[in-house]
Copies of this chain bind each other. A is one copy, B any other.
Amino acid sequence: MTIVRTQGRTRMAKHPRDRMIESALVLMGEYGVEATSFSQVIEHSGAPRGSIYHHFPGGKEQLIEEATRYGGDVVVKLLAEAIEQHDPVAAVDSVGGFWHTVLYDSDFAAGCPVIAAALDSRSPAARKAARDAFQRWEQLYTEMLQRAGVPEERARSLGSIAISAVEGAVILSRAQRSNAPLERVVNELHGLFHEAIGNAGTQSAGNGRTQ
Residues on A lying within 8 angstroms of B by beta carbon are 30-32, 34-35, 96-97, 100, 111, 115-116, 118-122, 127, 130-131, 134-135, 156-158, 160-161, 163-169, 171-172, 174-176, 180-181, 183-192, 194-195, 206-207, 209-211
Q: Do the beta carbons of A211 and B186 come within 8 Å of each other?
A: yes
Q: Determine the chain B residues whose CB is within 8 A of the CB of A161 once the complex forms.
A: 165, 169, 184-185, 188-189
Closest 5 CB pairs of A and B: A164-B168, A168-B168, A165-B165, A34-B34, A164-B169
A121-B30, A192-B188 are known contacts. Are A169 and B174 too (CB-CB below 8 A)? no
Known: A32-B34, A164-B164. A134 touches B185 (CB 8 A): no
Residues from chain B with a CB closer than 8 A to the CB of A130 are 175
Number of copies: 2
Q: Are A207 and B194 in contact (CB under 8 A)?
A: yes
Task: Select one of B31, B158, B172, B194 contacting A188, CB under 8 A.
Answer: B158
Distance (Å) between the CB of A142 and the closest chain B CB?
11
A180 and chain B: residue at smallest CB distance: B160
27 examples of A-B residue contacts, CB within 8 angstroms: A30-B121, A32-B32, A32-B119, A32-B121, A34-B35, A96-B211, A100-B211, A118-B171, A134-B172, A156-B184, A158-B188, A160-B172, A160-B184, A160-B188, A161-B165, A161-B185, A164-B167, A164-B172, A165-B168, A165-B185, A166-B168, A167-B168, A168-B168, A168-B169, A168-B171, A187-B211, A191-B206
Evaluate whether A210 and B192 lie within 8 angstroms (CB atoms) in the complex, with A165-B168, A168-B167 already known: no
- In this complex, which of A100, A166, A175 has the most chain B Cβ atoms within 10 angstroms of its Cβ? A175
A185 touches B160 (CB 8 A): yes
